[in-house]
Structure 1
């Protein structure tokens, strides 16, 4: 007896569907897309295992890299010689004008100057010592020491021949599992403390307080930071009148755009700026333009291994102030 192949296939399909109907409850749907299951797993947040946030004082660091490069005017030459893996010496020469406040006008006066700077550096995974001495009599030092795996000590000081211009600061930083705290002690009876806590894997909130005993001033501030793989948004407000907002969009691993908004509700000063950070194969270009009509650019070109060429430019059309600088970094 001949069997119709079409009827046989229809019978096998009907029997398999009946078997699946017996295994799956009524009203349930079968998820055949593995990406949907993975996204549901990612939505679950373990609030007892949040990442440690960045320090409170560095919440704007991505925006500062693009909008606040180390601009200078004149000639600069830096040479660093490593004596061993941990100890090195540095020599720096600077020739160019410096701005001195004027009592008669609001514009600063430019005074030509030149100085030589000698430095010594000791860098270890748990200890960093940096010292600088200049020909004009200024002496500066920085220390960073990891006392434990979670507690570190930071100190910086500067001594000058001018009255009331020397200062010193000591910071104790504690790094917790999902929070950071800092205590500050400085000359002039300056006391400060800050704390930042991870609320979600991407959001962290914090606050700070300070007291300047010499000037009889105190203040309190709050800050928030939201970070993803493609963007960073931060906001900060303080009782001193400062309101700071910043946003950084990462277009790729080498290109990022940044913007910030600074407002002081006591002096009514408002400044907004936009900038970029572009990393090429042999150079890095950063620049910005702000609402005051000031345009700036900073270029670091690697000429050879251990040899970098630097160009700095800042143009203020409103004040008719133009600053250009170039330098070399060796070592």
Structure 2
């Protein structure tokens, strides 16, 4: 039945549109509200409501008392007729379409939302970061840090710190298909990262770090593959390291996956499993591995400016457990992040925006149990 016939049937057959061009517009769902006159000269107004299963013509206003009565009766009949298809359409929308599941996050980014709150980049002393863009793709960076470094000792309660300073020079090349990032420090360390996207489904990544100490030098080569509702990764590195992971969406909100690795130099191997549930207010993740680690996190979005996160880690081999709570508060001119864990360590990190591209940074970490207190301040210029 056409749009005009549907309206005539719903309103007793005594109604006609002013122009015949209205019917095609209604069929396409382009007309939201229309006025017309019936054969008796009464003027009515109706709304066109778009739905997945079709359109519903809902009477809304009548300009005469008789029109009110007729319109109310027509609205009741039309509401009964349209009630079942509307509910059916809503039920179909809520069901899971297993042929069109969303693309999950990468396995390595399973807990990326919680890391902003639970892993603030605290430091001790003074830090200055400057980035100079030369064009839209290439930029240079300079970083200067002066402070103290903690030296490991046999007694965990004994804290030994020595003054240190370092300068880091970096170069960044970012394009549409990939990026190249390099860093060089005054202590002789060099690091670099290259990523290239061959297409939307396949990308390659190489990471390398060179240092005077052999144990600190490492290289890793990754191959990322993406499907419609899954992604996988293969990793090959030095010390005979081989790893693979896979992550699959099973519903619109739930994704499951696993990983496996083998370290030939130490003759160690492990298998892990992970789950991630992403809802509207919060994101919950869980990871378990044969190495003895169990990790569970929850990230809750309180509002557009307030985020909360919690983490529970358990090492059943060492019979140790720890818990942490973090927050991320975004204000108009600053961003405050912090963390409190079960060992009594309190961390706070503040970024204050002074001007466009200029941020002032404050860092603090208080460990009352070990009597270790770390404070830092810095400036970031040239980065948004």
Deviation at 1:97, TM superposition (A): 1.1
CA drift at 1:100? 2.2
Q: Which residue of structure 2 aligns with residue 289 of structure 1?
A: 340
Runs of 4+, deviation exceeding 6 Å: none
Q: TM-score, normalised by structure 2?
A: 0.77
In the other structure, the counterpart of 1:213 is 264
Q: Does residue 89 in structure 1 map to residue 140 in structure 2?
A: yes
Could you say which residue in structure 2 is the equivalent of 1:264?
A: 315
Aligned partners of 2:172 and 2:182 also within 8 Å: yes
CA distance in 2, matches of 1:146, 1:108: 46
Query: Is residue 2:121 matched to residue 1:70?
Result: yes
* Per-residue deviation, residues 170-222 of structure 1 (Å, max 9, x unmatched): 11111111000000011100100000000001000000000000011000000
2: distance between equivalents of 1:48 and 1:295? 46
- Out of 326, 340, 355, the position equivalent to 1:275 is 326
- Cα distance between partner residues in 1 of 2:210 and 2:312: 34
Shift of 1:39: 3.6
For 1:237 and 1:317, the matched residues in 2 are separated by 31
The 2-side partners of 1:31 and 1:70 are apart by: 57
Please tell me whether residue 168 in structure 1 is matched to residue 168 in structure 2: no
Q: Residues 306-321 of structure 1: matches in 2 within 5 Å?
A: 306-321=357-372
For 1:115-264, what aligned pairs fall within 5 Å after superposition? Answer: 115-264=166-315
Distance 1:169 1:99 in 2: 28
Q: Deviations over 1:33-87 (max 9, x none)?
A: 9985554232222101101100001111111111111111111000110111111
Give the RMSD, CA atoms, in angstroms: 2.3
Could you list the per-position Cα deviations for residues 270-304 of structure 1 after superposition, in whole angstroms to 9, with x for gaps in the alignment? 11011111111111111111110011011111100
Task: Answer yes or no: is the 8 Å Cα contact 2:168–2:186 preserved in 1.
Answer: yes
- Larger deviation: 226-235 or 102-111? 102-111
Partner of 2:19: none
Cα–Cα, structure 1 residues 105 and 299, in superposed 2: closer, same or farther, change >3 Å? closer
Map of 1:3 onto structure 2: none
With over 3 angstroms needed to count, the CA separation of the structure-2 counterparts of 1:105 and 1:228, relative to structure 1, is closer
TM-score scaled by length of structure 1: 0.89
Q: Distance in 1 between matches of 2:276 and 2:134?
A: 41
Tell me if the contact between 2:157 and 2:370 (Cα under 8 Å) persists in the aligned partners.
Answer: no
Q: Secondary structure at the match of 1:214?
A: coil
Higher Rg of the two aligned structures: 2
**Aligned equivalents of 2:343 and 2:82: distance in 1?**
56
Distance 1:316 1:166, change over 3 A: same
SS of residue matched to 1:164: helix
Residue 55 (str. 1) matches residue 73 (str. 2): no
- The 1:38/1:279 distance shift into structure 2, 3 A limit, reads farther
Specify every segment of 5 or more residues in structure 1 that has no aligned partner in the other structure, as ranges: 1-8
| CA distance in 1 between partners of 2:298 and 2:317 (Å) | 24
Deviation at 1:148, TM superposition (A): 2.2
Q: Determine the C-alpha separation between the residues in 2 that align with 1:100 and 1:35.
A: 68
Which one has more relative contact order, counting CA pairs under 8 Å at least 6 apart? 1
Shift of 1:126: 1.1
Residues in 1 aligned to 2:185 and 2:97: alpha-carbon distance in whole angstroms: 52
Measured at CA, do residues 34 and 301 of structure 1 come closer, stay the same or move farther in structure 2, by a change above 3 Å? farther
* 1:42 maps to 2:70: no
